[in-house]
Structure 1
Amino acid sequence: MIRNYFKTAFRNLWRNKAFSVINITGLSVGLACCMLIFLYAMDEVSYDRFHSNAPNIYHLVANFQKPDGHVDKISSTGDVPGPSFKRQLPEILDFVRIQSNSFTLKKGTEVFDQPALLADSNFFSVFTFPAVQGNTQKALYDPHSVVLSEEVAEKYFGKQNPIGKTLDLKVDDKFQPFTVKAVIKKSPQNSSIKIQMLLPKKTNHIDDHWLNFFQNTFLVIRPGTDIKQLDAKINKIFMTDAAGQLKEEADKYGFKDKVSYGLQPLLGMHTNTDYPADNGLVDASNPTYSYILSGIALFILAIACINFVNLTVARSLKRAKEIGIRKVVGGQRKQLIMQFLGESFILSFIAFVLAVVLVVLVLPFFNTLANKALAFSYLLSFKLVAGYIAIFLLTGLLAGFYPALVLSGFNPVQSLYNRNQYAGKNYLSKGLVILQFTLATFLIVSTITIYSQFNYLMHFDLGYNDKNVVSINSWGLDKTKLPIFKNELLKDPSILSVTADQGGRWITGAHVNNGQDIHFDMKHIDEDYLSLFQVPIVKGRNFSKTMVSDSATSVLVNEEFVKQAGWKNPIGQVVDFFYDAKKYTVVGIVKNYHFVSLNEKLPAVLFTMKPDYGWGNIFVKISDKNKSETLNRIQKEFKGDFPVIPYQYKFKDAEVAEQYDKESKWKQIVTFGAVLTIFISCIGLFGLATLSAERRKKEIGIRKVLGASVQGIVRKLSTDFAILVLISAVISAPVAWWAMHKWLQNYPYRVDINAGIFLVAAGFVLLIALITVSFQTIRAAVANPVNSLRSE
């Protein structure tokens, strides 16, 4: 019996090749999307679980509650908390501190910029990073030891055994030898700590100030400890031991924040958006992205299942006689249900196999979009395989159950006489199509909005000109040699200007108006900085190297600084750095320009030209002609003047574009989701058009006999579908507006959502829908009416 079911099922699938291909394609795409999102979600929740003691490891974080109630949350601590809490609390078994760093490494005559981590000597007893060579347990006890990852070891030593060999690292402006003690495996993809090079943290220069925050501290907590009670004990110790320093900060600097510590589980760290991943931590993730991806995948799978129902029902009238004959010769309804469910599972199984192939093919592209390094081997995880099987069974059941009930319920007499009036108004199928196109329209509105916002960010007038500006990383540069480097480059007519700043961001505060607090970004620049970037001075003057006071007591501020300070006559105003008794006079007002990402509001900025500050970036403005030759000249001059500093450069406009890499990726993800949703929805619409043409075949024949034109019939049939699409557009509009409005709130500089976006989305969906149904409507309209009416 079962064998006969399968034989009949395969015959029906083979006889209706086009519909089988459409069904299988829709299901396979939906299943593939779900598999990829399963893979993504599994990777997200698996972060840091490979550490053998992971459930008992907690990240020490800090909270700063402002007088106005706002809370700043930071993931860093200083040197003091770890050892102090361990010494006084028996619930804390151990602690380890890690800090990110970067070293200039010399190998022969070449120099490299090598990212590294500094950690306490017990690092490998807390975290699980298996050794490939050497002994990690004792690797960090020698202050001049180093642990390398497999990739870094191969980079510097090739296939040789690196254990016992040395690397020269620049420390305090001198190269010192460090001995390789161990080589560890490449850090897993799902690790918040990724090690390239690991060095021991200095223990002879302990910072004893509680309010310094520059590294991450992890605590190993005794199993069974009440974390809330431990949290309270930690803060009690802090308030007692740091009381003197807190009072000093309040008296000397006016510090009014209420500081407290908290414990963040290691296993919840990756998807926690409250605390940033910095100072040695990487790959922080926003769980919202997982929800969005999962939502898109479920949309696509739901639409694929809806298509299956619509297409199967659409073909039901073609199988009416088969069903009638089966019932007349004694076939029971449950046997027919088994038959149609069997066909559904066969289709689902074929789609499932094809989905696996699709996942393998698109996985590299998906990794690029999602910024992951997922491998095919991850698909073989027991949990994932079980999840995929559950999806397969659920899909087969959901997609086949309703059509099986409907088809098995046909009246045999009506079926044999082609009088089966199934569907009537066909509310369910129409409702499913409305649902499909509501989701499709929602995604198209989202895509248009995201595109608009991305283009807005990319074409926003930043207030400066970064075209053809080469940005050179110059940390550790001998500042006395910068004028020489600058003068040599300016001898080349292809080099238009050269300037420098301190690199990175330096956020600090001072007093204005005899005591008013103001916080701002402080930038150390030279006299050519503003002119190179074509940033205008709106009042006062620029720095001048001929005026000695400019490098001693003069500053420039931007318009936002003036606004926050409340100055009407800013020239000559005093900025008082009260904590080190320095006072500066404002000599010029710089027009606002966006040197930070447009994802944050433009801050107040103060510019200084003090000679005791170092340089972190050099900027070289070059001409459009002979760029490659000019770049070679810059590199040659840099290596000649600064032989022990690695040469790294980027074009400034490329650096700016990188700030919006996340938006660019989400633009692509949502676009692909919208395209797939539209594609699969159109398949469903094609099925409904087929059903409608079959059901109204006699009506069309009568209309033609009575003189109706082909154009009139096509218009009549198409109008029904156009109404469904327009209804879906109306339903999706408020939901899409709300979702996009919420999303745009993340950007201080954003586009407005206007009616045009919804009209374009609705028009596009309507056009695609009409093109989709035109094939079936035209085919039905040009059919010979004799064929549909001869049995009457």
Structure 2
Amino acid sequence: MIRNHFKTAWRNLMKHKTFSFINVAGLTIGLTSFLLVSLYIFDELTFDRFFTHSNNIYRIVESSTSPEGKANQVAYVGYPVSESAVAQFPEIQKVARFSYWGRVNMASPDNVRVIYGDFMTASAAFLQVFDFPLLQGNPATALNAPHTVVVTETGARKLFGTTDVLGKTIRANRVDSLPYLITGVLKDLPVNTQFSFDYVFSEATLVGGDKGKKAQANWNANEFVSFVLLDNKAHPQAVEAKLNQLVAANRQADNKSGLHLTLQPLKNIHFYSDNIEGNLGKTGSLAYMYVFSIIALFVLLIACINYINLTTARFTNRAKEIGVRKVTGASRYNLAGQFMAEALLVTLVGLTLALVLVKACLPAFNTFTEKQLALDSSTDHRIWIGVIGAAITAALLSGVYPAFFQSRLRPVLLLKSKLPAAKGSIPLRRGLVVFQFALSIIMIIATMVVYQQMKYVSTKDMGFNKTQLLVVDINSRKIGRSSAVIKNEFARLPQVQAVSVSSRVPGEWKSLPKIKVRNEHTAVTEGNDMYYLGVDESFLTTYQIKLLQGRNFREGKGDSLSVIINETAARELGITTPGEQLLDIPTVNFGEAPEEVRLQVKVVGIVKDFNFQSLHTPLAPMVLGFTTNPIHGPDYFTARIAAGNMEATMAKMNAIFRSIDPEHLFEYHFLDKQWELFYREDRIRETIFLLAAVLAILIACLGLFGLATYAAEQRVKEIGIRKVLGASSQGIVAMLSKDFLQLVLIAALIAFPVAWLAMERWLQDFAYRIHLSWWTFLLAGLIAMLIALVTVSMKAVKAAVANPVKSLRAE
């Protein structure tokens, strides 16, 4: 029986090729987009879930509240917090600490291969808590000894050209000149983990030095990302309470106010860390996972709606077939099985084509999303279960209504062509068309709004000019000590218009230091949190930042205790004119600064506010200190370079670097390109909305074309009579198109408020944003109307220009 069902279903597909093509094409596109988005979502939802003990791993997060009521969360805590906890609390089985100490010059022993890499350290138990696949070495001992390092496959190839490097050494100029023994080779890290490194050095390397000894005793510092592995029977809340008691007993009295430690589950870090400073990798958005899930389901649902619409529309053509089957003994369940077999066959064909398309699209999709998605024998079995589930769901959505509604009709009515059910199917088809186009219009509006917002952030005045700025890293002490000499040499190059040295740059991808600032002339006893930037006298000129009041820094060492503040800082501190005194207290230690710095500084100038972070973040108070300050030393050169002959200019700059430090690699980037990275995720979402809108419109138009084709076939004699009686072709086209355009108009009216609410909520993520305009919605509606009109007219025009004699003569 099942074999006969599928044989009959195949014959029906071949007999009505146009409708079969529309159904198969719609389901293929729907399933392809659904599978691609599902792979992306699955990868995001399984972030860091592949570790054996992932359910029992927690990150220690420090939360604090300033006297002004500002909440702050950081993912770094002091060394003794986790070390004392594992020693005193039996619920904690192991502790893994991870920390970033800047970029260093790394080289193979023969100095043939030299690179810059991140100097990341990890505690001895790191590879036991996080069981990354280790190709060579022992995870229990690989990071135990000082001057040892574990490398990834990629890291090994960078320095040695091979992965067979166990027992070899590398040089990394961070602590001392001693070589580091390679004690392990890791398989390259997956993309869906917060960790991203090619080299991880043993924490014991630093602990033995003076700075390490200070860190071991410093309960107030924030230097180590610390993870605890709890026993299966442990209660995280109880351990959390013990941690807070431990810290309260050991922290200094002035560092306890508003402080609280929490244990954040590893599985929550990716989606619930937006407000936490010090994340190791980029965070995800759970809200966007919901949005992408809905989009994928909508596109698939639109394809299923096509099937239902075309099946119900063509029902009158199959009425006698169903009647004959019933008269000859077919039961309702036999007929339902036949309809379901047809839906399943169309879905299977669509799924097969979708799998081929997914396989072909994955390389480009991975490049676009920066993922490593795959759909093959190595793919997680849950994904394959999802693929089968999606196909079955699509078949059920497509076939259930025709199977169980149309199969219940009485054979007498079917054979006499008296179909009361057909009357009810018309509102159903109309409702489904409205639903299809409402979804499509929502996606069109979303695409347009995201595009406008991305254009706005690209063109908004940032308070400085970011074009033609070349930022060069200072990754060597020799370069840092000779920064004044290098700056002067850069300035002599004909293409270089201005040069500056600074501790950080606008658009900084590293952490921006914060300090406590108090106006001595006020009664406020606690300082305000403000960002700090160490700059030279050329910074304002190089970045073209406007000085509103006072003066700029002066060359030399005379301005070590002078600062310039932005407008926001001036307002918060109640300063209207430069010349007042401030008390600066850095909350953390930067660079080579002492453990604690308290400075009496003078405000010599006020600059116009400039955005030094993405437009997701509101403007914050900023303090600019001179480069000779004791808080934070120089880390970058910034050169404004005239357009043209850029490669020759950079070659000369590289030569200047190498004359100071022959081993120094010239590492640079253009600032405007760096700013684009802030909005990379937004642009990915923009593209996804655009593709979803295109696919939704395409599938909806396929269905509309099918319905228009059927409508023209059903009204062929009516059209012939109208033409004989003098109706024009334009009038007939208008008649056939009017009903469909009315449905699109209704869809637009439904879509507008839904789209407005959704996009208004999305724009709230930006501190600087566009305002929704009425013309955006009107244009989206007109686009949908135009597309629908073109789609319907393709068939309507053909019917209108047909010879009426043929249509009236044929019976």
TM-score, normalised to structure 2's length? 0.91
1:275 Cα deviation from its structure 2 partner: 5.7
- SS of 2:548's equivalent in the other structure is strand
Q: What 5-or-longer segments of structure 2 have no aligned partner?
A: 505-509, 586-595
Whole-angstrom distance in 2 between the partners of 1:442 and 1:190: 31
Instruction: Rate the CA distance shift 1:46–1:571 in 2: closer, same or farther, 3 A.
Output: closer
Residue 282 of structure 1 aligns to a residue in which SS? coil
- Cα distance in 2 for partners of 1:744, 1:148 equals 42
For residue 510 of structure 1, what is the aligned residue in structure 2? 517
Change (3 A) 1:479 1:269: closer
Verify the 8 A CA contact 2:533 2:625 in the aligned structure 1.
Answer: yes
Query: For the Cα contact (< 8 Å) 1:465–1:534, is it kept in 2?
Result: yes
Q: Which residue of 1 aligns with 2:592?
A: none
Secondary structure of the residue that 2:472 maps to in structure 1? strand
Structure 1: which amino acid aligns with 2:607? V
1:203 matched to 2:220? The reply is no
Partner of residue 253, structure 1: none
CA contact (8 A) 1:105 1:114 kept: yes
CA contact (8 A) 1:75 1:275 kept: no
Specify the code of the residue in structure 1 equivalent to 2:34. Answer: C
Aligned-residue CA RMSD in angstroms? Answer: 2.5
Selected match of 2:719 from 673, 694, 700: 700
Residue matched to 2:466: 466
The DSSP-based 3-state class of the residue aligned with 2:484 is helix
Q: Secondary structure at the match of 2:76?
A: coil
Partner of 1:24: 24
Which residue, 597, 601, 611 being the options, matches 1:584? 601
Indicate the residue corresponding to 2:269 in structure 1.
269
Question: What CA distance in whole angstroms lies between the structure 1 residues aligned with 2:92 and 2:414?
Answer: 77
Q: Name the SS of the counterpart of 1:175 in structure 2.
A: coil
Deviations 1:341-370 (A, max 9, x none): 211111111111111111111112222333
Match for residue 238 of structure 2 among 222, 225, 229: 229
List per-residue Cα deviations over 1:288-318 (Å, max 9, x = no partner). Answer: 2211111110000110100011122233333
Match of 1:555 in 2: 563
Change (3 A) 1:359 1:160: closer
Shift of the 411–196 alpha-carbon distance from structure 1 to 2, 3 Å rule, reads same
User: Counterparts in 2 of 1:729-740, with a 5 A limit?
Assistant: 729-740=748-759
Structure-1 residue corresponding to 2:133? 130
Quote the Cα distance in structure 1 between the aligned partners of 2:807 and 2:421.
17
Q: 1:39–1:378: 8 Å Cα contact kept in structure 2?
A: no
Contact 2:487 2:637 in 1 (8 A): no
Cα deviation for residue 400 of structure 1 reads: 1.3
| Separation (CA, whole Å) in 1 of partners of 2:799 and 2:395 | 31
Report SS of the residue matched to 2:233: coil
Query: Contact (CA 8 Å) 1:474, 1:645: kept in 2 or not?
Result: no
Query: Taking structure 1 as reference, are residues 284 and 26 closer, same or farther at Cα in structure 2, changes over 3 Å only?
Result: same
With over 3 angstroms needed to count, the CA separation of the structure-2 counterparts of 1:398 and 1:83, relative to structure 1, is: same
| Identity level (%) | 35
Deviates more, 1:741-750 or 1:385-394: 385-394
Please give the secondary structure, in 1, of the residue aligned with 2:475. Answer: coil
Deviation (angstroms), 1:658: 1.7
Report which stretch shifted further, 46-55 or 617-626. 46-55
Partner residue in 2 for 1:183:
185
> In terms of mean alpha carbon deviation, does 633-642 or 663-672 score higher?
633-642
**Maintained 8 Å contact 2:456/2:769:** yes
The partner residue of 2:775 within 738, 746, 756 is: 756
Q: Distance in 2 between matches of 1:575 and 1:658?
A: 35
After superposition, the Cα gap between the structure-2 partners of 1:118 and 1:239, relative to the gap in structure 1 and judged at 3 Å, is same
* Conserved? CA contact 1:411–1:420, under 8 Å: no
**1:399 is aligned with what amino acid?**
S
Worse overlay, 698-707 or 92-101: 698-707
Aligned mates of 1:417, 1:104 — CA distance in 2: 88
Map 1:356-755 to 2 at 5 A.
356-377=355-376, 380-409=379-408, 423-424=422-423, 426-477=426-477, 478-503=479-504, 504=510, 505-512=512-519, 513-516=521-524, 517-545=527-555, 549-550=558-559, 552-568=560-576, 570-577=577-584, 580-612=597-629, 613-755=632-774
Aligned to 1:153, which of 134, 153, 156? 156
1:254 counterpart residue number: none
Report what 1:6 is aligned to.
Answer: 6
Q: Pick closer, same or farther for the CA change 1:584–1:2 going to 2, 3 Å.
A: closer
Letter in 2 for 1:680: I
Alpha-carbon contact 2:220-2:255 (below 8 Å) kept: no
- Where does residue 124 of structure 2 map in the other structure? 121
Work out which of the residue numbers 229, 235, 238 in structure 2 matches 1:220.
Answer: 229
Q: TM-score, normalised by structure 1?
A: 0.93
Partner of 2:173: 170
Q: SS of the residue aligned with 2:423?
A: coil
Distance across 2 between alignment mates of 1:299 and 1:460: 34
TM-fit CA distance, 1:741: 0.7
**Cα deviations by residue, 1:506-544 (Å, 9 ceiling, x for unpaired):** 221211134543322221111111112222212222122
Kindly indicate whether the alpha-carbon contact (under 8 Å) linking 1:83 and 1:95 is maintained by their aligned counterparts in 2: yes
Is the 1:139–1:145 contact (alpha carbons within 8 Å) kept by the matching residues of 2? yes
Alpha-carbon separation, structure 2, partners of 1:298 and 1:483: 59
**Whole-angstrom CA distance in 2 between matches of 1:121 and 1:103:** 22
What do residues 372-430 of structure 1 show as CA deviations (whole Å, max 9, x unaligned)?
Answer: 11123377432222221122122112201212345435665665676657633610000
Please give the alpha-carbon distance, in whole angstroms, between the structure 2 residues aligned to 1:360 and 1:118: 39
In the alignment, which residue of structure 1 is the partner of 2:588? none
